[in-house]
Amino acid sequence: MMQDEQKRAVAQAAIQYVPAGCIVGVGTGSTANYFIDELARIKHKIEGAVASSEATAQRLREHGIEVVDLNGVDSLPVYVDGADEITEHLHMIKGGGGALTREKIVAAVARKFICVADQGKLVGVLGKFPLPVEVVPMAQSYVARELTRLGGQPALRRGFTTDNGNIILDVCDLQILNPVELETTLNQITGVVTNGLFARRGADVLLLGADNGIRTIVV
């Protein structure tokens, strides 16, 4: 299967994890968009969806799916989202689309995180994909110096503002041998809203597209 076919196939497969009558957490990006298209087919069976970005909220509404405020939701059985990189331990780098903070919030609330990805996303060690870090604008220079001190090469994502009104620094060259520890360390830099390591709360299930079908990895 080509990359886009893999994305569509894993999005279709993720539907089986959506319980009838529930509110679904929905991620951001091209694979999540395929999932939204699939969700539209069963929209009469769900109550609504919590969106991880304005772009996702708009696409959900365009498909006639009700978008629900996370603050009005007691429980979220499942969250479905893509990743920029993922390991066999289901630790991820996310935020290529800049939605990392809202994605991390929805993932924190959800009981089950289903990651949907094409096979190119599976890596042995995280870090080839530059790590996105969402930063309050006035802290840009300070946070960039701190990230450099930690061995990274931060670059401002030009012309981009997050849904929360912040900037993104994309960080190359970080040694991500212990993603749980690095996630915590980076989040302790004052001015960082959050970083794109999803290791403390990784995925629970990975649906990985492959040439010959779908591989399911569960932790």
Contacts to ligand 5RP by CB under 6 A: 27-31, 81-84, 94-100, 103
Least distance from C-beta 73 to ligand 5RP, angstroms? 21
Residues 33, 59 contacting (CB under 8 angstroms): yes
Residue with tokens 């996310």: 94
- In degrees and rounded to multiples of 5, residue 11 shows phi and psi of -65, -40
Task: Closer to ligand 5RP by CB, 30 or 119: give it.
Answer: 30
Task: Closer to ligand 5RP by CB, 47 or 55: give it.
Answer: 55
Q: Which of 85, 103, 134, 183 is catalytic?
A: 103
Task: Closer to ligand 5RP by CB, 129 or 191: give it.
Answer: 129
Residues 180, 199 contacting (CB under 8 angstroms): yes
Least distance from C-beta 149 to ligand 5RP, angstroms? 26
Least distance from C-beta 92 to ligand 5RP, angstroms? 8
Assess whether 54 carries a catalytic annotation. Answer: no
Distance CA(68)–CA(43), nearest Å, equals 14
Least distance from C-beta 131 to ligand 5RP, angstroms? 11
Task: Closer to ligand 5RP by CB, 68 or 131: give it.
Answer: 131
Which residues are CB-neighbours of 150 under 8 A, at least 6 positions away? 174, 185, 186
- Would you name the residues annotated as active-site residues? 103
